[in-house]
């Protein structure tokens, strides 16, 4: 019990700055919308569409970087040379950021296929063409953040995210209103903020880390192999929420409004277990590198416990005061009445969602990323979505039915991935193999 208590304390305090940083990332978009909404309805509409197009590329990119901190933490625990890690990950960030930026530009040429109004279409393309340039600094910032996180240095990078929320709002006001650049101003503000964040974090990381020009192509390939499934995992989840939003929008204005409120609230509550998963991946990777499977199990249980506590607290609020929560976003009595039943389903949804994301973080610490991605695909697309459609359309539960299906799918994902984690740990406990070979082969290069 004392060991579990220590693990609980370590995960909790390690994750706090990460939680703040994740919330800060969400507030970036909110700041853009608040300022743009006061400029014109057309800009606000175009910004929402452009962000929806840009976000999937961002999800894939940041997902790739999530493989960095577990790898480095494990190497540190094994007292192995990590001199090549910063240079390799910076090269990976620049290369993948360039590819993703080109893909964003290419998506700008495909906007016409959406059939938008000509004025809106032009604004969306303008935003994408400018904001594509921010993908490279985003990736540089992320790989530096992950390098620091592997050494359990999380305060500076995450505080920087919160600080630049204020900078971004000020830049938006200046470029959008003072210079009257409209949506181009919003794109410039975002790109400038992300670039400055990357530059400042690089200056800080240069003092904390040994950054050299050493680049290991084997390590880069290993990180891509482990990181791409993480990015695709996030993409699969993001796409299902987009689809649910579209389907709810076709039901009624009331259903669409209530559904959008629940999605935004759930996105906020999701940040806590999401950050816990990031903390767990680093702690478990270190313990795994030391072959301390008792500590691996202790960290996993502590993370799961904290995730369940957070989800239960949020679920209780959804159940106890749904009207008060909904009233923060709307004064429409019809939306509030409809949203009450939706929040009750959302209360149940919180638990399997927290379990599945924290278990994914634990598996990431063991460098297992492909199988969780497959499980997510089968769970939410193969099971959750069909169940949701059944409840929504056959049983007439509308948006609540879609969320019931999501909850069922994520419950299956949580159970399967939990079983996978236990099986892997038991396998390593019983194995005579001293070190998994993929990491050994890629990490010895300088």
Residue 361 main-chain phi, psi, to 5 deg: -65, -40
Structure tokens at 331: 């004064």
Residues 265 and 385 in one domain: yes
Residue 333 lies in a domain: yes
Q: From CA 247, how far away is CA 413, in angstroms rounded?
A: 23
Residues 205 and 233 in one domain: no
In order, the DSSP letters of 189-204 are HHHHHHHHHHHHHHHH
Q: Are 46 and 120 in contact (CB under 8 A)?
A: yes
What is the average per-residue pLDDT within 344-364? 94
What is the CB neighbour count within 10 angstroms for residue 444?
14
Instruction: State how many domains the chain has.
Output: 2
- 444, pLDDT greater than 60: no
Q: From CA 357, how far away is CA 131, in angstroms rounded?
A: 29
In tens, the pLDDT along 62-104 reads: 999 999 999 999 999 999 999 999 999 999 999 999 999 999 9
Residues 147 and 188 in one domain: yes
- Using CB atoms within 10 A of its CB, is residue 110 exposed (0-12), middle (13-18) or buried (19+)? exposed
pLDDT at 440 (0 to 100): 41
Helices (H), 66-134: 68-77, 84-108, 118-131
Residue 221 lies in a domain: no
Residues 398 and 261 in one domain: yes
Residues 207 and 283 in one domain: no
Residue 3 lies in a domain: no
What is the CB neighbour count within 10 angstroms for residue 212?
13
Domain range enclosing 307: 229-446
Query: Residues with Cβ < 8 Å from 152, sequence gap 6 or more?
Result: 14, 282
Q: Which among 215, 238, 261 is the end of a domain? A: 215
Residue 22 lies in a domain: yes
Dihedral of CA 303/307/312/313: which sign?
positive
- 365, pLDDT greater than 70: yes
Residue 293 lies in a domain: yes
Please name which of 64, 26, 62 lies closest in space to residue 135, comparing C-alpha atoms: 62
Residues 142 and 278 in one domain: no
Residues 190 and 275 in one domain: no
Place 443 in a pLDDT band, splitting at 50, 70 and 90.
very low
What is the average per-residue pLDDT within 270-283? 94
Average pLDDT along the chain:
91
In tens, the pLDDT along 13-65 reads: 999 999 999 888 888 877 788 888 888 888 888 888 888 899 899 989 999 99
Residue 124 lies in a domain: yes
Residues 56 and 113 in one domain: yes
Residues 136 and 274 in one domain: no
Please name which of 401, 403, 411 lies closest in space to residue 355, comparing C-alpha atoms: 411
In tens, the pLDDT along 417-433 reads: 999 999 999 888 777 44
Q: Rounded to 10 degrees, what is the CA torsion of 128, 130, 132, 135?
A: -130
Q: Which among 151, 184, 215 is the end of a domain? A: 215
In this structure, of 35-39, 148-152, 233-237, 404-408, the range with the lowest mean pLDDT score is: 35-39
pLDDT at 98 (0 to 100): 97
Residues 207 and 289 in one domain: no
Q: From CA 175, how far away is CA 130, in angstroms rounded?
A: 13
Residues 409 and 270 in one domain: yes
Determine what percent of the chain is predicted with pLDDT higher than 90. 73
Q: From CA 302, how far away is CA 388, in angstroms rounded?
A: 32
Q: Which among 192, 215, 238 is the end of a domain? A: 215
Place 1 in a pLDDT band, splitting at 50, 70 and 90.
low
- End-to-end alpha-carbon separation of the chain, Å? 41
Q: From CA 342, how far away is CA 388, in angstroms rounded?
A: 13
Residue 35 lies in a domain: yes
Residues 208 and 233 in one domain: no
């Amino acid at each position: 019990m004392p060991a579990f208590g220590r693990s609980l304390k370590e995960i909790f305090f390690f994750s706090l700055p990460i939680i703040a940083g994740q919330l800060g990332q969400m507030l970036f978009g909110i700041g853009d919308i608040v300022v743009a909404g006061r400029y014109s309805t057309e800009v606000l509409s175009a910004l929402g569409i452009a962000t929806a197009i840009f976000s999937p590329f961002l999800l894939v990119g940041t997902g790739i970087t999530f493989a960095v901190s577990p790898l480095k933490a494990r190497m540190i625990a094994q007292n192995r040379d990590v001199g090549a890690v910063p240079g390799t990950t910076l090269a990976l960030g620049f290369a993948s950021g360039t590819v993703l930026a080109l893909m964003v530009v290419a998506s700008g040429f495909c906007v016409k296929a959406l059939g938008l109004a000509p004025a809106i279409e032009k604004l969306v393309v303008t935003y994408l063409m400018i904001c594509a340039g921010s993908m490279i600094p985003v990736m540089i910032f992320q790989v530096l953040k992950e390098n620091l996180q592997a050494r359990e240095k999380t305060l500076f990078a995450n505080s920087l995210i919160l600080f630049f929320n204020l900078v971004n709002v000020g830049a938006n006001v200046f470029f959008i209103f003072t210079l009257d650049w409209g949506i181009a101003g919003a794109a410039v503000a975002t790109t400038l903020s992300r670039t400055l964040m990357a530059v400042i974090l690089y200056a800080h990381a240069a003092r904390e880390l040994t950054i050299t020009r050493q680049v290991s192509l084997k390590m880069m390939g290993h990180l891509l192999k482990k990181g791409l499934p993480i990015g695709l995992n996030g993409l699969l989840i993001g796409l299902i929420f987009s689809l649910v939003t579209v389907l709810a929008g076709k039901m009624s204005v009331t259903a669409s409004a209530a559904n959008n409120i629940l999605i935004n609230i759930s996105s906020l509550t999701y940040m806590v277990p999401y950050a816990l998963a990031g903390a767990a991946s680093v702690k478990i990777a270190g313990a795994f590198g030391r072959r301390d499977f008792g500590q691996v199990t202790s960290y996993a249980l502590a993370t799961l416990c904290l995730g369940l506590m957070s989800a239960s607290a949020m679920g209780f609020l959804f159940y106890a005061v749904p009207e008060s929560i909904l009233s923060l976003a709307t004064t429409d009595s019809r939306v509030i009445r409809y949203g009450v039943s939706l929040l009750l389903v959302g209360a149940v949804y919180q638990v399997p969602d927290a379990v599945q994301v924290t278990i994914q973080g634990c598996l990431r610490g063991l460098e297992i990323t492909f199988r969780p991605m497959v499980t997510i695909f089968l769970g939410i697309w193969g099971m959750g979505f069909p169940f949701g459609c059944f409840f929504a359309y056959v049983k007439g539960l509308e948006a609540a039915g879609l969320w019931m299906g999501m909850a069922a799918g994520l419950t299956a994902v949580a159970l399967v991935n939990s079983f996978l984690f236990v099986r892997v740990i038991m396998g390593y406990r019983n194995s005579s193999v001293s070190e998994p070979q993929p990491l050994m082969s890629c990490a010895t290069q300088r």
